[in-house]
Amino acid sequence: MVRQYGFFFDAAACTGCKACQMACKDRNDLEPGVLWRRVYEVAGGGWEKTGEAWVPSVVAYNVSMACNHCENPVCGLACPVKAIWKRDDGIVFVDTGACIGCRYCEWACPYTALRFDARTNTVSKCDFCYDAIDGGGTPACVAACPQRALDFGDIDELRKKHGDVRRIFPLPDPAQTEPALVIKPHRDAARAAERGADVANWEEL
């Protein structure tokens, strides 16, 4: 039995096509403005003079991020009505029927995974397509990726296969929540901070 489901993301393979984001939105019939999976476009750098020549020092890559179904979900600790809970396989749920719209969970999550819908006065988030998984299937985001930059499975197995990188710019310190996430970094990720990189598409997110 899976102890803790997690996601694998290959930033080196992601092209930023947003197929994962749209597949999630379509499968879950999300309202305009509500995104459970988001693709961050990271960009920075410029030009540097080397001798008599100017050479580019640009960094550019994408980060596809949803709820990380953390091993220490601070969103659940912040919820005053206990509307957030974990299954035995680690999938974190929001009970929208119990949610009172206080948004404490949203503010607590360092990954901004919980999304508030003013029309329903509730928060919601990625549920790992649990019903598809229970039926032997695959999360919509994973199935939709044309580059196979996303995968899922037991987090321990993913770490054995891909290593244990959980943070690249602009993600927060994983020690806060112990995310069930493994990342293969893009080659530019190590230089992002020193090159003044930022998220270029905040208005979409």
Tens-place pLDDT, residues 155-168: 999 999 999 999 99
Q: Name the pTM for this structure.
A: 0.94
Contact 90/71 with Cβ under 8 angstroms? yes
pLDDT in tens, 82-129: 999 999 999 999 999 999 999 999 999 999 999 999 889 999 999 999
What's the pLDDT band for 150 if we cut at 50, 70, 90?
Answer: very high
When pLDDT is averaged across residues 61-71 and rounded to a whole number, the result is 98
pLDDT, residue 111, reads: 98
Domains, in order of start, for the chain: 5-188 (3.30.70.20)
Tell me, what's the pLDDT at 56?
A: 87
**Beta carbons within 10 angstroms of residue 77's beta carbon:** 12
d(CA 95, CA 90): 15
According to DSSP, the β-strands at 38-44 and 198-199 are antiparallel
Closest CA to 177 of 2, 22, 58, 6: 6
| 158 Cβ contact partners less than 8 Å away, ≥ 6 residues apart | 6, 8, 151, 152, 182
Report residue 47's pLDDT band, with 50, 70 and 90 as the boundaries.
confident
**The pLDDT of residue 70 is above 70:** yes
What average pLDDT does the segment 12-32 reach? 97
Q: Would you give the DSSP letter of residue 168? A: -
Give the chain's mean pLDDT: 96
Tell me the C-alpha distance between 108 and 12, whole Å: 29
**Position 4 confidence tier, pLDDT thresholds 50, 70, 90:** very high
pLDDT at 16: 98
The pLDDT assigned to 1 comes to 62
